[in-house]
Amino acid sequence: MRHLLDTTDLSLSEIDEMISLATDIIENGEKYAHICDGKKLATLFFEPSTRTRLSFESAMYELGGHVLGFSDAGSSSASKGESVSDTVRMVSCYADIIAMRHPLEGAPRVAVNKTLVPIINAGDGGHAHPTQTLTDLLTIYREKGTFDNLTLGLCGDLKFGRTVHSLIKAMCRYKNVRFVLISPKELQVPDYIITDVLEPSGAKYVQVENMEAVMPDLDILYMTRIQRERFFSEEEYLKHKDAFILDPAKLENAKESLTIMHPLPRVNEITVEVDEDKRAKYFEQALNGKYIRMALIITLLKWGGQL
């Protein structure tokens, strides 16, 4: 039995296989319509979600399976004080696979010690969001046809943005990827991303505070929301909330081949006018999330001997 706690739990060849499977699902969905007949996915969301939870649920339904779970810790026995360990131990008696989101970093790692079925980290605090990264990788592959030789700009709240942390861990494993980390000084990536991820990988990176100056260099611009819920004070959030707003004027010097991504939800960081730009791919990215999660469910159930 295997779990997915972070993107680095998967080898590069396993990621390639997952992307191939997702691509086949996109092209030949009917082949997979009954592959999970009789199987159950539990979605344990202790923190709010639209895309991740609903795309997991949609994914399981499209595979012929069933879904159970909760979307609010307040409607589960967590509100009575039940531990994550006990909750997961129980739910693993009722489902074949579990997707779990929790505000505490490391909560899914606690869960794997108790579960009887595969656990998928659907986001843990400001730490990691590996299924978003698989979504991002599928999107990059479909847009660029490669992961190598790309200049990737990551912009916004790089400190608390878990999607950024997981994406850097994934992309620094490919050849000649350059990272342009665009954020206010106070919201730069955590130190461990520099010392334990970027430096050992040998990937080139720069940390800058201005988006316009680096725009012409970028192959991908990955915008992120300022993570209001993770700030210690509202005052601190308000100081940064509109730090970067991507609008058509800021794209004037960008490459024609630029791919604009965002894990969503957005607040103010991309104006709606940009949605009409052919380089904006964030809604396709959200759709890709369903296909890659279908591929992930199939793969983990196969690895666990359940399919």
Q: Which residues bind ligand CP (CB under 6 A)?
A: 49-52, 123, 132, 263-265
C-alpha angle with apex 39: 35 to 44, nearest 5 degrees? Answer: 125
Mark whether 7 is an active-site residue.
no
Identify which of 175, 172, 220 has the alpha carbon closest to the alpha carbon of residue 199. Answer: 172
> CA–CA separation, 113 vs 89, rounded Å?
9
In whole angstroms, how close is the CB of 66 to ligand CP at the nearest point? 21
In whole angstroms, how close is the CB of 273 to ligand CP at the nearest point? 22
Mark whether 266 is an active-site residue.
no
In whole angstroms, how close is the CB of 162 to ligand CP at the nearest point? 9
Mark whether 80 is an active-site residue.
yes
Residue closer to ligand CP (CB basis): 126 or 263: 263
Residue closer to ligand CP (CB basis): 99 or 182: 99
Q: Out of 52, 87, 131, 133, which one is annotated catalytic?
A: 52
Residue closer to ligand CP (CB basis): 123 or 125: 123
Residue with structure tokens 């959030």?
A: 237
Mark whether 129 is an active-site residue.
yes
Counting beta carbons within 10 angstroms of the beta carbon of residue 239, is it exposed (0 to 12), middle (13 to 18) or buried (19 or more)?
A: middle
Q: Out of 39, 101, 162, 262, which one is annotated catalytic?
A: 101
- Angstrom distances, CA of residue 60 to CA of 33, 41, 53, 239, 287: 10, 7, 11, 41, 14
Residue closer to ligand CP (CB basis): 29 or 265: 265
3-class DSSP assignment, residue 98: strand
In whole angstroms, how close is the CB of 181 to ligand CP at the nearest point? 20
Q: Out of 129, 165, 240, 262, which one is annotated catalytic?
A: 129
Q: What is the distance between the terminal CA atoms of the chain, rounded to a whole angstrom?
A: 12
Catalytic residues: 51-52, 80, 101, 129
